[in-house]
């Protein structure tokens, strides 16, 4: 942790404004020249270099995240470093298979030809990363981009300046700038980047900004992967294991101080077990983070809100709920001097409260009691499709009913958040919560163009070519009847 003095935040606007165009052009030229030689071995070599740098800079990564929002060292290892290192390892193991052209079986209409689908690099890609998991969500997509044979410019968030500066350092010591480089700065730098004709844009952030990214990309007909968010609901059924549910929900909600796009946003709990569930969650909060306010402030295991503006937003949500009749079952205390918001459990929630409308993105957990599951499902379906939905219950039919009747990016059954770490699952949203998918082979495909290649061998399609004599017309009619 003593190496934090070596890290200096970048001032807003300090990023290479005029250098962006030059960096983009350098990558575009190099990409064309590199394409024939950037084979599997070359890609794996770059991934190995990234892995080695991340391991070597572990202390710096922990220090930077601590400086930006007091992220615990164990959470940095688990949620920032592990996903990237696992992505590298998984990619290396499977890259040969992913890169291999896939045979497309012929049909009668194209008998006598041979066809295959050949994945190829899209080209120069832009990765716009958020502040909540600055290392994970910058370097994780980069693994997929490199595996697919692309070059990339990374735009990390200015809200975590120490970590963004470190990401720039890691990239600079690992890659040549015509392969990977970092553009630091504020929204103005992002706008300048988005004006360029990238071959693909991978954006992680809010739905509101996602719309801006998609609009900008459309001007250049650039493909996009949008990893967004929304209000991920949790349903605790009548036959749930209350202890297990409490443990998973508390961890998924309050890790990273609730600043997680797939954190449980609110909980629907069956009324008959609500009292036991609320008490179990309250006890779990006290067990994990401390039994007193002083202990919660002092624990090294509890993150902070990233900046004053977001702290004010989260505190305002709590104050609005209290003013409108909410009951604070646990927490609710704040300290502006350190952007501290205690783990907060809220009951008696009503629809006129801001916590029911806005993505919370903080350590606030509203509890909503229900009796009729149909009304819960109707309420979920009336809102934008969430990035994640969680169900806790022992009944398979109960879980299947909810999974079938709702739409979400992913579903967690008797767990929260962990599906992000599964390398063989697609991670992505639906509509308002995202477009496209990431991780593993899905990430490789997101950064790849699947080129159709078809080869003539001994087909008879030339017999259908003009001039359309009587014989050809009769032959075409036969083909249409047989194949159509």
Read off the CATH number of the domain in which 252 is found.
Answer: 3.40.309.10
What range defines the domain where residue 48 resides? 2-228+437-450
472 is a domain residue: no
Q: What residues contact residue 471 under an 8 Å CB cut-off, 6+ apart?
A: none
484 is a domain residue: no
Beta strands in 359-409 (DSSP E): 364-370, 388-392
Read off the CATH number of the domain in which 80 is found.
Answer: 3.40.605.10
- Same-domain status, 137 and 178: yes
- Same-domain status, 19 and 153: yes
469 is a domain residue: no
Residue 448: predicted pLDDT? 98
Residue 146: predicted pLDDT? 98
Q: How confident is the model over 185-208, as pLDDT tens digits?
A: 999 999 999 999 999 999 999 999
464 is a domain residue: no
Rounded CA separation 277/288 (Å):
16
Residue 18: predicted pLDDT? 55
470 is a domain residue: no
> Known catalytic residues?
227
39 is a domain residue: yes
Q: Give me the average pLDDT of each 10-residue run along the chain (484 residues).
A: 33 52 96 93 98 98 98 98 98 98 92 95 98 98 98 98 98 98 95 97 97 97 96 98 98 98 98 98 98 97 97 98 97 98 97 95 98 98 97 98 98 98 97 97 98 93 93 93 89
Q: Are 399 and 373 in contact (CB under 8 A)?
A: no
477 is a domain residue: no
Residue 471: C-alpha distances to residues 109, 110, 465 (Å): 18, 20, 11
What's the total number of domains in the chain? 2
Residue 249: predicted pLDDT? 98
SS3 (DSSP) at 260 = coil
Instruction: Provide the whole-model pTM.
Output: 0.94
- Residue 446 region, left (φ>0) first, then alpha (ψ -120 to 50), else beta? alpha
154 is a domain residue: yes
- Same-domain status, 242 and 369: yes
């Amino acid at each position: 942790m003593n190496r934090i003095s070596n890290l200096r935040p970048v001032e807003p606007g300090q990023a290479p404004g005029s250098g962006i165009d030059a960096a983009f052009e350098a990558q575009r030229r190099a990409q064309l020249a590199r394409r024939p030689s950037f084979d599997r071995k070359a890609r794996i070599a770059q991934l190995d270099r990234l892995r080695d740098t991340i391991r070597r800079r572990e202390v710096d990564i922990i220090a930077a995240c601590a400086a930006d929002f007091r992220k615990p060292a164990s959470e940095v290892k688990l949620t920032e470093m592990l996903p990237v290192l696992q992505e590298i390892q998984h990619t290396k193991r499977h890259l040969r298979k992913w890169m291999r052209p896939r045979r497309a079986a012929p049909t009668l209409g194209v008998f006598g030809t041979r066809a295959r689908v050949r994945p190829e690099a899209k080209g120069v890609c832009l990765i716009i990363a958020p502040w909540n998991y600055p290392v994970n969500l910058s370097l994780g997509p980069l693994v997929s981009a490199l595996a697919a044979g692309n070059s990339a410019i990374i735009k990390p968030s200015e809200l975590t300046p120490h970590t963004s500066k470190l990401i720039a350092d890691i990239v600079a010591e690992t890659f040549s700038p015509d392969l990977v480089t970092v553009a630091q700065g504020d929204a103005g730098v992002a706008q300048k980047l988005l004006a360029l004709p990238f071959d693909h844009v991978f954006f992680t952030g809010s739905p509101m900004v996602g719309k801006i990214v998609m609009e900008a990309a459309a001007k250049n007909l650039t493909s996009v992967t949008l990893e967004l968010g929304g209000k991920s609901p949790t349903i605790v059924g009548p036959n749930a294991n209350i202890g297990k549910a409490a443990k998973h929900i508390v961890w998924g909600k309050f890790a990273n101080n609730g600043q997680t796009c797939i954190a449980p946003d609110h909980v629907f709990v069956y009324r008959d077990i609500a009292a036991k569930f609320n008490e179990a969650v309250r006890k779990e909060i006290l067990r994990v983070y401390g039994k007193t306010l002083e202990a919660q402030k002092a624990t090294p295991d509890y993150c902070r809100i990233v900046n004053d503006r977001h702290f004010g937003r989260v505190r305002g949500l709590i104050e609005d709920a209290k003013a409108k009749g909410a009951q604070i079952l646990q927490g609710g205390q704040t300290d502006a001097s350190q952007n501290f918001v205690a783990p907060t459990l809220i009951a008696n929630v009503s629809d006129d409260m801001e916590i029911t409308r806005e993505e919370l993105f903080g350590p606030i957990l509203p509890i909503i009691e229900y009796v009729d599951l149909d009304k819960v499902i109707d309420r979920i379906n009336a809102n934008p499709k969430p990035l994640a939905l969680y169900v806790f219950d022992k009944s398979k039919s109960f879980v299947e009913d909810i999974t079938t009747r709702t739409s979400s990016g992913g579903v967690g059954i008797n767990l929260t958040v962990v599906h992000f770490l599964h390398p063989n699952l697609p991670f992505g949203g639906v509509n308002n919560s995202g477009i496209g998918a990431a991780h593993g082979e899905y990430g490789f495909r997101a950064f790849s163009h699947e080129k159709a290649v078809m080869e003539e061998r001994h087909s008879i399609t030339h017999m259908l070519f003009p001039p359309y004599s009587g014989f050809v017309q009769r032959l075409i009619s036969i083909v249409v009847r047989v194949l159509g």
